[in-house]
Amino acid sequence: MRRYLISGNWKMNTTRATAVELAKALVEGARAACDKVDVLIFPPAPYLIPVQDAVAGSAIQVGGQNAYFEAPGAFTGEVALEMLQDVGCQSVLIGHSERRHVLGETDSLINNKVKAALEKGLQVVLCVGELLSEREANQTEEVLDRQMAGGLADVTAEQMADVVIAYEPVWAIGTGRTASPEQAEAAHAHLRNWLTSHYNASVADATRILYGGSVKAANAAELLGQPNVDGALVGGASLKASDFLPIVEAGVSAAG
């Protein structure tokens, strides 16, 4: 039985003060929910420490939005995986579409990050998803296959225990245009079949596949009710506790 994971990607938002305030509100508001679902937030790197302090003693998990794959050294502007672990992070988001399409990350760079993070024992949330033009050209499955094969190259079945996949159709991110539950389920089922054929049935069955792209309280229950949707990666609606907590509650309801 896969445990729902409701995660919030704060992207390049919040100030130190609003990040701490938001984290504290989540600690209060999600206390009971954390018995039933996993809650994971990704604050901006400079606020990881104050946010970790704010959630200390609670079940809310904190992860990095990105990291570089090399050991600490001369890589100006980058954050090492060791540094994330040093400040208490157990998870890292890798391959977000904004990193792929705005910052130019390739599948090969993403794969280096995935492998390095897994070797360090971090949980990886690997994002995949097609552009609107790719969906319109009926290339969604081909793009997902390429991103999965590229991102997970040389990742073993054992290591997959620490991998979460996030399906985020790029056309649904920050646009208010959510994938329909049927579109999300079709993509998730495709990703799970990919896991069966490239690993095995037990890896496919155990791996959580999150949906991301304009998730909000109003559509969360329906999306989380799909058989292959195991959680959400929420952007805009993770920036206010009053928007995010109802999504966490939708996860609790879906968990039954």
Chain residues in the site for ligand 13P (CB under 6 A): 9, 96, 168, 173-174, 212-215, 233-237
- Indicate the residue among 3 and 177 with the shorter CB distance to ligand 13P: 177
Between 165 and 203, CB nearer to ligand 13P: 165
Q: Which residue has the tokens 């760079």?
A: 109
- Could you tell me the smallest distance in angstroms from the CB atom of residue 117 to ligand 13P? 17
The closest alpha carbon to 17, from 62, 51, 41, belongs to 51
- In a 13 Å sphere around the CA of 8, the CA atoms on its Cβ side amount to 29
- Class of residue 242 by CB neighbours under 10 A (exposed 0-12, middle 13-18, buried 19+): exposed
Which of 148, 243, 238 lies closest to 187, judged by CA? 148
What backbone phi and psi angles, to 5 degrees, belong to 4? -60, 145
Roughly what angle, to the nearest 10 degrees, separates helices 217-224 and 181-198?
A: 40
Taking the complex as a whole, the smallest distance from the CB of residue 164 to ligand 13P amounts, in Å, to 12
Catalytically active residues, by annotation: 96, 168
User: What does DSSP say about strands 123-128 and 163-167: parallel, antiparallel, or unpaired?
Assistant: parallel
Identify which of residues 43 and 236 has a Cβ nearer to ligand 13P in the complex. Answer: 236
Work out how close the CB of 66 gets to ligand 13P at its nearest, in angstroms, rounded to a whole number.
12
* Burial grade of 138 (CB within 10 A; 0-12, 13-18, 19 or more): exposed
Complex with ligand 13P: residue 64 or 235, whichever CB lies closer: 235
> Residue 63 Cβ, how far from ligand 13P at the closest point, in Å?
12
